[in-house]
Amino acid sequence: MRNRIHQEPPRDGSSLDLVERQLTVWRRTHKPPCPLPEDIWGKATELAARLGVSKVARALRLDSAALKRRMEVQAASPAATFVELLPFGNHIGECTLEVESAGGARLRLLMKHVAPGGLATIIRDFVGAR
């Protein structure tokens, strides 16, 4: 029988280490099948764009195929940073609004006479404000 030595993946700066520590803390308090938070996936995809999918997936113990898919979705659909909704008086008239999160979840809102502040809160909560 051969002795195997566990080799740690190489590190590249403090950002990978920081995300790894955040993920370790999250994993201690959340058990499968609880999905990873979008902010951790977002940080992982940013790191993978710089350092490579394989390296980041190995260091963070993530599924490399899932990480690669998320990178492709992120590259294909750039996030909107600003959407203007023009109210009539103190509310938004009748409209339909569709929002998609970075993870691919979709929200469709059919609205009549909605206050803009309440709508902004709903959308921020859905997409995971950063």
The predicted-structure confidence for 95-116, as pLDDT tens digits, reads as follows: 777 777 766 778 888 878 777 7
* pTM score: 0.51
pLDDT of residue 78: 59
Neighbours of 43 (CB within 10 A): 20
> Hey, what amino acid is at 86?
L
Is residue 92 within 8 Å of residue 119, measured between CB atoms? yes
